[in-house]
């Protein structure tokens, strides 16, 4: 069975000192949690310090983005190998904020996913529709296009290092979460697509996180759904008590 995976996406928040304070609390409070994998995604500047702090714990560290080249004249970019060097095991790719605000496309997402996997990182590839797309009935088409760009044609043997995060854009940071039934419907569709594209074994192994206003009071219902294998948590990951409650809810 798939081990649930809960990741806190800290976005553009927290200094190094604040990051260390938060992750130390998480490390202490989650020390006894079993059967749930937990990760944090601090800003680039705090990755190395946080990775060192969690070295002796099961917590894993993710970056929020990367580039697809390993070195060269690419001012401002960070390579997958550099993320590994800083202590990251995972990287989030194709978050809707990057797609909407920073020109990320299905093509660049695909290049980043392949480069990150090639460097030995695990990848959390984000997919999800806007409200307009949901309203005009194109949710499945949009999600399939995102999936094809991110993981189409991938070697199924990499499934253990691939996570899909379904994050409906209309639910991110809005306090408006998908209902468990709405989320499960899309998650089942994603798993069926993975089965057709990468084969049954990969589809059964790949974890599909839900993201979008996951909070302590809605996490348990969402995570109870059969195809929801964890959560990508934004706002509620910035306070230890809330994030810990969500991680515990993943276990039930
Ligand atoms: P949110 O963000 O939990 O604040 O809605 C989720 C995300 O963007 O990953």
Contacts of 145 (CB under 8 A, 6+ apart): 106
Ligand 1 neighbours, Cβ below 6 Å, are: 9, 167, 172-173, 211-214, 232-236
Q: What domains can be seen in the chain, in order of their start residue?
A: 5-251 (3.20.20.70)
Contacts of 163 (CB under 8 A, 6+ apart): 5, 90, 122, 123, 124, 125, 206, 207, 208, 209, 230
pLDDT, tens digit, 9 for 90 and up, residues 185-216: 999 999 999 999 999 999 999 999 999 999 99
Ligand 1 pocket test, pick from 213, 237, 243, 245 with the greatest ligand atom count within 8 Å of Cβ, gives 213
Q: What b/e string do you get for 145-183 counting C-beta neighbours within 10 Å, with b at 16 or more?
A: ebbebbbbebebebbeebbbbbbbbbbbeeeebbebebb
Q: Is it the case that residue 86 has pLDDT exceeding 70?
A: yes
- Annotated catalytic residue within 97, 146, 167, 187: 167
Please say if 167 is a catalytic residue.
yes
| Ligand 1 atom closest to 236 (CA) | 3
Ligand 1 pocket test, pick from 126, 232, 238, 249 with the greatest ligand atom count within 8 Å of Cβ, gives 232
pLDDT, tens digit, 9 for 90 and up, residues 22-77: 999 999 999 999 999 999 999 999 999 999 999 999 999 999 999 999 999 999 99
Reported confidence tier of residue 252, pLDDT bands at 50, 70, 90: low
Considering only CA atoms, which residue is closest to atom 2 of ligand 1?
234
Instruction: Write down the pLDDT at residue 101.
Output: 97
Considering only CA atoms, which residue is closest to atom 6 of ligand 1?
234
| Ligand 1 atom closest to 92 (CA) | 9
Distance 72 CA to ligand 1 centre (A): 32
Please say if 25 is a catalytic residue.
no
Per-chain mean pLDDT for the chain: 97
Instruction: Write down the pLDDT at residue 175.
Output: 85
pTM: 0.98
Distance 73 CA to ligand 1 centre (A): 32
């Amino acid at each position: 069975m798939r081990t649930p995976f809960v990741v806190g996406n800290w976005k553009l928040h927290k200094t190094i000192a604040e990051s260390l304070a938060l992750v130390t609390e998480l490390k202490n409070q989650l020390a006894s949690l079993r059967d749930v994998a937990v990760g944090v995604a601090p800003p680039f500047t705090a990755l190395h310090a946080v990775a060192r702090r969690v070295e002796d714990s099961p917590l894993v560290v993710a970056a929020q983005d990367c580039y697809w080249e390993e070195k060269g004249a690419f001012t401002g970019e960070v390579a997958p190998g550099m993320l590994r060097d800083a202590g990251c095991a995972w990287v989030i790719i194709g978050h809707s904020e990057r797609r909407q605000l920073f020109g990320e496309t299905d093509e660049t997402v695909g290049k980043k996913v392949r480069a990150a996997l090639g460097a030995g990182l695990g990848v959390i590839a984000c997919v999800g529709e806007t409200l307009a797309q949901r309203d005009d009935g194109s949710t499945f088409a949009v999600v399939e296009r995102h999936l094809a760009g991110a993981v189409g044609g991938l070697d199924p043997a990499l499934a253990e290092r691939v996570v899909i995060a379904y994050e409906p854009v209309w639910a991110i940071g809005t306090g408006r979460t998908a209902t468990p039934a709405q989320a499960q419907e899309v998650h089942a569709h994603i798993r069926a697509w993975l089965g057709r594209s990468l084969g049954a074994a990969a589809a059964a192994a790949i974890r599909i996180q839900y993201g979008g206003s996951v909070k302590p009071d809605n996490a348990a219902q969402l995570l109870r759904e059969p195809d929801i294998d964890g959560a990508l948590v934004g706002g509620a990951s910035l306070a230890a008590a809330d994030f810990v409650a969500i991680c515990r809810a993943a276990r039930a």
